[in-house]
Amino acid sequence: MKLSPLDEYPIHQTHAPVTWPATSDRNFYDRSYFNVLDREGRFMALTGIGYYPRLGVKDAYFVVRRGDTQTAVHLSDAIDDDRLHPNVGGYALEVIEPLQELRLTLAPTEGIAADLTWRGLFPAAMEEPHSMLTDRRVTLQASRFAQLGSWEGWIEVDDERLEVTHSSSVAARDRSWGIRPVGEADAPGRPDTAFRGMWWLYLPLAFDDYQLFLILQEDPDGHRSLYDCTRRWRDGRVEQLDGVRVDVDYRVGTRIPTGVHVEFMNRAGDRFRLDVESRLYAPIAFGSGYGGDSSWAHGSWKGEGFTERVSFDLTDPDVMAGAAFSLIDHVGHAVCTEADGTTREGAGLFEHGVIGPHHPSGFTDWTDGAGSGSDSGSVSGSGSQNGAQE
């Protein structure tokens, strides 16, 4: 066990040095995710940095969608013990004020560069712990906090500069740590068919007076394995919302949403409605290293000082066929209509994906798309669950 600068501070949670995870599971990870969402939908970026102590790897990615092209740069290196200054190659994350202000820089790497300063619009919020199990092992067991904010700075792709301002951007970020599949795949042993598919919706949205978080995960039959829904007001109030019903609009023949409509109920029994439209989208399996990404996987050992660039043509049907196996992040424009008819406009991340069957939405196998006149896009979840946490 090696000491690190962090061991000077009274922050230990186990008998081991801070950089030594309490679990020996190879899939332990510690990661930051950010997006840069242009409110008008002219471009968007997804980026993050992760540390994988049991694999000896740290890596980062920066993905930009502009026009019909999605371009990613990947960086990977051997892990080090200085966690106070997260960095991989030319990618660096500086914490200026914890939970409020950060600076993210990417020195010119494979034609992409950035210098962005994050400012939180609301306090960071812990989400419900997330777990997924098979008959044999824990596949996901993580904690995460999220926050709405905005950016100031610029992104460059092949000498084209994209200006980012606090007024033109909105952003959702999260910090998560725990166990999830990372690195090269384990030897499978006897085939495990426990995963039958998942339906996912994540809406972190910023309004003038509050930030709203909705997380839903359902199995193919519509059972909610994860539910968390709160409205967090500037004055500190946290309002838990129940009775959530969801209706997703899809492009015909695909699983790519164009919008989502959500009904909520507060503790007083008043119902209100959220309508979110997509102004631009980026499949996260196209270059960001998340599930289904054919270009790379988080935590994979690529050698020291590794960088590469990959691009995806979003007009190519063969490329877009992979979108059916990806969560998709959108620049979301939102309108919230209260029970008394009052409306508020907001913006943020609209993340959705249907991987495999989801019978309440009319998807019966792994590849079918929404069809005109079909049940696809119907209410997700029966509503009879009344948003009960399960």
CATH number at residue 174: 2.40.370.10
- Three-state DSSP state, 320: helix
Question: How many other β-carbons are positioned within 10 Å of the β-carbon of residue 82?
Answer: 12
CA angle 72, 21, 73 (to 5 degrees): 5
Residue 245 token pair: 């019903």
Return the pLDDT at 186: 75
Helix (H) or strand (E) holding 279: strand 271-283
Please report whether residue 201 resides in a domain: yes
For residue 331, give the nearest of 47, 35, 31, 24 by alpha carbon.
35
Encode pLDDT of 204-232 as tens digits. 999 999 999 999 999 999 999 889 999 99
Residue 75 belongs to some domain of the structure: yes
**Contact criterion met (CB below 8 Å) for 278 and 265:** no
Q: Tell me how many domains the chain contains.
A: 1
Query: Average pLDDT of each block of 10 consecutive residues along the chain (390 residues)?
Result: 89 91 91 97 98 96 97 97 95 97 98 98 87 75 91 97 97 93 77 79 96 95 92 91 95 95 93 97 95 90 97 96 93 96 97 95 91 47 30
Nearest of 81, 105, 205 to residue 156 by alpha carbon = 105
358, part of any domain:
yes
Strands 160-164 and 138-157: antiparallel
Distance CA 358, CA 364 (A): 6
SS3 345: strand
Taking residue 361's Cβ as centre, other Cβ atoms within 10 Å add up to: 26
**Is position 23 within any domain?**
no
pLDDT for the residue 184: 82
- Residue 7, domain member (yes or no): no
Please give the model's pTM, rounded to 2 decimal places. Answer: 0.91
**Domain for residue 390, yes or no?**
no
User: Cα separation of 225 and 128, whole Å?
Assistant: 11
- Residues 161, 179: contact at Cβ < 8 Å? no
Residue 326 lies in a domain: yes
Domain hosting residue 222, numbered range? 28-183+195-380
Q: How far apart are the first and last CA of the chain?
A: 39
Distance CA 261, CA 255 (A): 16
| pLDDT value of residue 192 | 65
Amino acid identity of residue 280, one-letter, is L
Reduced to 3 states (helix: H, G, I; strand: E, B; else coil), residue 208 is: coil
Q: Name every residue whose Cβ is closer than 8 Å to that of residue 176 and which is 6 or more positions away in sequence.
A: 29, 30, 31, 33, 142, 143, 144, 145
Q: Identify whether the C-beta of residue 309 lies closer than 8 Å to the C-beta of residue 110.
A: yes
Residue 18 lies in a domain: no
